[in-house]
A and B are shown apart, each in its own frame.
Chain A
Amino acid sequence: GENVEQHPSTLSVQEGDSAVIKCTYSDSASNYFPWYKQELGKGPQLIIDIRSNVGEKKDQRIAVTLNKTAKHFSLHITETQPEDSAVYFCAASKNTGGFKTIFGAGTRLFVKA
């Protein structure tokens, strides 16, 4: 069945360092890959997304890469700040089946000041 695996489950970095979160997906028909940030007591907030016709996308300190052949995609956060501390979810979706989004299990990111 459809599955998204996410690693690591916990990541601790020093302020100013980079953080990388990696995901793999199983359904080759997936064509849309959003990333969400979730803070305590809040719903997931979209931070960046990438479509399958693009290999890389960047928005200020955040970048995503996609390798369709290997079914891998990654989130890169540079110059991390304490306010980046949160749980990050990768997800995969396709144009059929109700556009349902399959989420990874999440990565808890700690940025130490």
Chain B
Amino acid sequence: DTGVSQNPRHKITKRGQNVTFRCDPISEHNRLYWYRQTLGQGPEFLTYFQNEAQLEKSRLLSDRFSAERPKGSFSTLEIQRTEQGDSAMYLCASSLGTGSNQPQHFGDGTRLSIL
């Protein structure tokens, strides 16, 4: 399977704990995106990487959230001191990197539930 891979698929944790999610993009894609999706809504943009550089961050991404893509391949999204409102599906997408918009290919997400 050469699609976008996300792990874990589900994460249940207690409020206040830290969680980390991983995304492995399609191998030749140098752009990587994180989105958050709540029930009944479309995905909301969180952040964007071009290779290893984080070039754009949404105001939704509070200081409890941090994303990395250290070698320009896989990426991690960490949430510190989780809150009830963090419960959502976290989606990762990747695309080719050229000067214009390219189709983004999504993984199946990590569903986070905060108890």
Q: Spell out A's residues near B (CB within 8 Å).
A: 4, 6, 31-32, 34, 36, 41-46, 49, 51, 89, 91, 93-95, 97-106
**Are A106 and B45 neighbours in the complex by a CB distance under 8 Å?**
no
Chain B, residues 38-64, CB within 8 Å of chain A (1/0): the string is 001111110110000001101000000
Of all chain A residues, the one with the shortest Cβ separation from B108 is A43
Q: A43-B107, A46-B104, A46-B105 are in contact. Are A106 and B55 (CB under 8 A)?
A: no
Of all chain B residues, the one with the shortest Cβ separation from A41 is B108
- The minimal Cβ–Cβ distance linking A3 to chain B, given in whole angstroms, is 11
Chain B, residues 86-115, CB within 8 Å of chain A (1/0): the string is 000001010100011111111111000000
Residue pairs across A and B with Cβ atoms less than 8 A apart, 27 shown, are: A4-B42, A6-B42, A31-B101, A32-B100, A32-B101, A36-B106, A41-B108, A43-B91, A43-B107, A43-B109, A44-B106, A45-B106, A46-B105, A51-B101, A94-B101, A95-B100, A98-B55, A98-B56, A99-B31, A99-B95, A100-B58, A101-B43, A101-B45, A103-B43, A103-B44, A106-B41, A106-B42
- The minimal Cβ–Cβ distance linking A57 to chain B, given in whole angstroms, is 13
Of the candidates A6, A93, A101, A103, the one having the most CB atoms from chain B within 10 angstroms of its own CB is: A101
Interface size on B, residues (CB 8 A): 29
Complex alpha-carbon distance, A32 and B101, angstroms: 7
